[in-house]
Amino acid sequence: MLTIQELTPIPNIPQPKFKRIVIVGAGFAGLKLARELANTDYQVVLLDKNNYHQFQPLFYQVATAALSPSAVSFPLRRLFHKTENIVFRMAVVRKVDREKKILETNLGQLSYDILILSQGANTNFFGNKNIQRHAAPMKTTSEALYIRNKIISNYERAVNLGNIEERRPIMNVVIVGGGATGVELAGAIAELRNQVFPKDYPQLSFENMRVILIEAGPSLLAGLSENSQQKAQSYLKKLGVEVMLGTMVEDFDGYTVTLKDKEPIKTITLLWAAGVKANSLLGIADVQMAKNGRLLVDQFNKLLNDDSIYVLGDQCLQEEEEFPNGHPQVAQVAIQQAKNLAVNLKRDLKNQEWKPFRYRDLGSMATVGKKMAVVDLPFISFQGIFAWLVWLFVHLMAILGVKNKLIIFINWAWKYLAFDPSLRLLIRPKYINPNKREWLLDQDDPEE
């Protein structure tokens, strides 16, 4: 096996006139930083394993056929048409040689002056291999599309089964994790069951379809106000979602969900939204990592014991007085850290002092269904139709690109007025020849 230094450099990356900043990951943090550094005296090389940016907060709408995958994904190259100092490559980063300042990728090696790690987080199955094998996570656009296919294929299958006992596990959906993702998925699936599927499959009786949301903790939406938690739970109940709090999932073999001290549940669809773990790469020392895998950084996002590496967003753990165990792994933290680092890197060009990072909590929100959402702002908390409108507006504004905003607006108007999401298509991937797979299949993370 070749060492990093023996690998050929990634071809066609111009020799830098200025310092080279390599950014790994074009999610909320990496992309924000790259855009802030456009047209500066740095060469920025942005690497991501996909050639698009993913807007994760709306994945659940892709999974439930309300939005198309392209509405929540944005082509990265299009963002950098007029920015000469930024080079993008679709590459999987595997390893770093911190002494020689070289990165190893699936395309070859790349040297850096400053390295920014913003690789985000992945699904945490807490070491349960069975659950990892059989459950469906939702951390990427392609996983959200898989869930859409899985759910639709279940009913295409169930409608051909005469025996009700055989149909039940195919129709039931179990969601694990009572955070915003689990709550939003459960609400959206219940709405499909209540209003859409009975029209699509009139021969099936949807009273036989259970939508179950399981949470190990004592409440849903940990971190939101008690009022919002209770309201979200009552909205789910209204939609017919069975909420099981204080319930531990122990195993899943693809047919039966085994619970601690409770009756097992029969289903072939277990959606896993129960936890995340930070992504990483080889070459980082154990002492630079917290127990949960997040990389330890100082108040400027500089990696512990390294002068050239900075870590942003979900991947880092930064202590602040109010957040002694690190910030929540949410988009606002990633964006604000990227903005602060961009300011500091620009100050560096003028030999000015760096500013430490301070997180400004803008609030949290979650939606359960049509006219049902909860919003907690720093000084006020509200629920119901107004909260739902605020949720729609905030997410519409946050999505990249005017075309995507328009498409989403039209989709939502159609969905909420007609209640007939039009994307219930089962587009199945065709078998890919092994010798053509590398560029057509999702690449695994280096540590998987």
Binding site for ligand FAD (CB under 6 A): 24-30, 47-50, 54, 56-57, 59, 92-93, 118-120, 138-139, 180-181, 279, 281, 313-315, 329-332, 334, 445-446
Q: How far is 211 from 214, CA to CA, in rounded Å?
A: 10
Q: How far apart are the first and last CA of the chain?
A: 19
Q: Which residue is nearest to ligand FAD (CB)?
A: 27
In the complex with ligand FAD, the residue whose CB is nearer, 118 or 228, is 118
* CB closer to ligand FAD, 158 vs 316: 316
Classify 59 in phi/psi space as left (phi over 0), alpha (psi -120 to 50) or beta: alpha
Q: Confirm if 85 and 43 have CB atoms less than 8 A apart.
A: yes
Q: How far is the CB of 180 from ligand FAD (least distance, A)?
A: 5
Question: In the complex, what is the shortest distance from the CB of residue 131 to ligand FAD, in angstroms, rounded to a whole number?
Answer: 17
- 387 φ/ψ angles, rounded to the nearest 5 degrees: -60, -40
Give least dist CB 166 to ligand FAD, A: 31
Cβ distance to ligand FAD smaller for residue 92 or 170: 92
Shortest Cβ distance from residue 263 to ligand FAD (Å)?
29
Nearer to ligand FAD, 169 or 313 (CB): 313
Least distance CB 212 / ligand FAD (angstroms): 19
Residue 422 in tokens: 């039009």
Cα(83)–Cα(40) distance, rounded to whole angstroms? Answer: 9
In the complex, what is the shortest distance from the CB of residue 26 to ligand FAD, in angstroms, rounded to a whole number? 5
Nearer CB in complex with ligand FAD: 282/427: 282
Q: How far is the CB of 146 from ligand FAD (least distance, A)?
A: 13
CB of 402 to ligand FAD, least distance (A): 21
Token pair of 294, please? 């997040």
Q: Which residue number, 144 or 158, has a Cβ lying nearer to ligand FAD?
A: 144
Return d(Cα 33, Cα 83) in angstroms, integer. Answer: 14
Nearer to ligand FAD, 158 or 173 (CB): 173
- Element of type H or E holding 150: helix 141-158
Q: If 0-12 CB within 10 Å is exposed, 13-18 middle and 19+ buried, where does residue 315 land?
A: buried
SS3 at position 444: coil
Edge-to-edge strands of the sheet including 381-383? 364-369, 372-376, 381-383
Strands (E), 68-208: 73-75, 86-90, 93-97, 102-105, 108-111, 114-117, 121-123, 136-137, 173-176
Is 46 or 212 the residue whose CB approaches ligand FAD more closely? 46
